[in-house]
Amino acid sequence: MNGNQPTPELAQKMANAIRILAVDAIEKAKSGHPGAPMGMADIAEVLWNRHLSHNPANPQWANRDRFILSNGHGSMLIYALLHLSGYDLPMEEIKNFRQLHSKTAGHPEVGITPGVETTTGPLGQGISNAVGFALAEKLLAQEFNQADAAIVDHMTYAFLGDGCLMEGISHEACAFAGTLRLSKLVAFWDDNGISIDGHVEGWFTDDTPKRFEAYGWNVLSVDGHDAAAIDAAVQAAKAQSALADGKPTLICCKTVIGKGSPNKQGTHDVHGAALGAAEIAATRAALGWEHAPFEIPADIAAAWNATARGQAAEAAWNERFAAYRAAYPEKAAEFERRMKGDLLPAFAEQLPTIFAAIAGNAAAVATRKASQNALDVLAPLLPEFFGGSADLTGSNLTNFKGCVRAGRDTWGNHLSYGVREFGMAAIMNGMALHGGFIPYGGTFLTFSDYSRNAVRMAALMKQRVIHVFTHDSIGLGEDGPTHQSVEHIPSLRIIPNLDVWRPADGLETAVAWASAVERKDGPTALCLSRQNLPRLTTVEMVESIRKGGYVLSDMEGAKAVIIATGSELELAMQAQATLKAEGIATRVVSMPSTNLFDRQSAEYQASVLPLSLPTIAIEAAHPDFWHKYTGRTGAVIGIATFGESAPAKDLYNHFGITAARVVEAVKKAC
């Protein structure tokens, strides 16, 4: 698709089409951000019209270039580009900008709008996703490309603004991109000096070019309204990918925010509000745009339409892939499977044997270790696995037998992200969105606070990303309250579409991993213990475990139900034994995933938690969450304060997270 070179006059008209579509849509909605679409229109014309390899007729073409609008508030920029290029985004959708159930939401949303690669809006995460896209491309190229056949060969482009660069996550991800030499990553910085509060020199005086040079990036600077200069910069950036020591590129584009608005350009007044009818009329006059709202002249529409070029580009790649399939049939089949997100048949076939072996291990192990044990046997069945940890591999135990550490220029399937919890989570989102990988990464549960918004974004985008959160409670002991999770598990459970697991033993942990891998429509969080836990389950319970909550131990004539998760399930079983000796029958329910349990039928839920019985829950976490199950007649044993620094056993006794408390609560409820 390269080489499309309009005359300067036509290029200007094409850029102005973006500007006018943006202001018209925002005016109709009486809401939106016209500044970025107007200011970046010239950059967008150069990239999308002259360089971007994509097929509007097939937004999922595997070898397309990826484009990410990190400054997602400028969403009308990408909507205008998608409409003009020929994607299935008709003018009616542009007119319905920011309206209920439209394909043109206030911020771009993947899965809603054809051609949108990732959901953006929380600043800094789009560029961090872009690092994940570029990393996925590089790894897949190393794995599948042959000397005579390059089937993975595409660029990742990102637009970003001052706000993205102010967010700390941009440092985490971009510094890492430089270290990894992601030479097919190109970012365009909209250097307009304006944010919502006004001119940024009062709060943003970084020397951004030097900052990125220090990261190991190739840094170029251009006038963001000079199409020829932008074109030359993009060509220079693309040339980095051919160099052995090529670097990612930052193109610093000096722009005027709201370019074309005679009275508001260059000010924060154009950042986040409709221009108003009078200023739009003045803008039309200033740009020489004589057409009615939402009207694109035929010559400009024809110049923008990329369908024919896109189909030709994909057809050429299909020919290359056909030759690749003929020469390397197994690799071709594997590539197609990976990009579809399907699992190997052997995964499902071997799970029963794996579960049986794990269930047969009577040793008491920490669930973080049980997680690694599961990885050891599952990973050979999952070539798409890409693991890692935020500088805690030896604590999170996210590595597995035979894993290969990914390096700057070497393929691998396990990555040391460094102390970058937020960056790691956003990079994993980008890898999942790219396709070809099931990424997972580890940190301490308490530090899920750092990565939380990226976890939320994975849930919003319905991406198969797995978070391994170890050291899940006061049970980590001597590290003290800074590292001890209290509110984290309950708060993670209420994120829509996030499956949270807190397994109690090796089998529950293995089932949690299997469930996370099998799930295509959302992320999973595994909350794992530091301390050793006894085996409590049998292989016959696998299907029950898969339901998220089940009866672990029952007694005839049960007078109460005890619910527990993770390390506290052992305490529930101890309490049951004590109560039995005193003639009080109880039922113990293991609830490793409340999210899955809540998706079961009402009949099943009632069979596990009869409404007629008082219910007591115990978990070394904030107690409020559990009242949805215990009601007003039950009780919750938990911890509603921060922890202390001491050995785990002492802490459990100090905070009353004990079997004796459960016994006392059951007696009181009965």
Please give the positions annotated as active site. 421
Q: Which amino acid is at 632?
A: R
Pairing of strands 532-533, 365-366: antiparallel
Q: Is 627 exposed, middle or buried (0-12, 13-18, 19+ CB in 10 A)?
A: middle
**Rounded distance, CA 244 to CA 231, Å?**
23
Element at 444 (helix H, strand E): strand 438-444
Dihedral angle at the C-alpha atoms of 332, 335, 340, 344, nearest 10 degrees?
90
CA distances (Å), 398 to each of 115, 129, 242, in order? 34, 22, 33
Strand order in the sheet with 218-223: 66-69, 156-161, 185-191, 249-254, 218-223
Pairing of strands 185-191, 615-618: unpaired
Structure tokens belonging to residue 334: 């594997």
The residue type of 278 is: A
Q: Assign residue 480 a region (left: φ > 0; alpha: ψ between -120 and 50; beta: otherwise).
A: left
Cα–Cα distance measured from residue 466 to residue 517, given in angstroms and rounded to the nearest whole number: 8
What DSSP assignment string belongs to 273-308?
S---HHHHHHHHHHHT--SPTT---HHHHHHH--HH
d(CA 596, CA 511): 12
DSSP per-residue string spanning 178-216: HHHT-TTEEEEEEE-SEETTEEGGGT----HHHHHHHHT
Amino acid identity of residue 92, one-letter, is E
Beta strands in 457-513 (DSSP E): 466-470, 499-501
Distances (CA, A) of 283 to 24, 220, 254, 286: 11, 31, 21, 5
Q: How many CB atoms lie within 10 A of CB 323?
A: 14
* CA dist., res. 399 & res. 57, Å (int): 41
Instruction: Tell me, letter by letter, the H, E, C secondary structure of 577-620.
Output: HHHHHCCCCEEEEECCCHHHHHCCCHHHHHHHCCCCCCEEEECC
Spatial separation of the C-alpha atoms in residues 458 and 524, rounded to whole Å: 9
DSSP 8-state code for residue 463: -
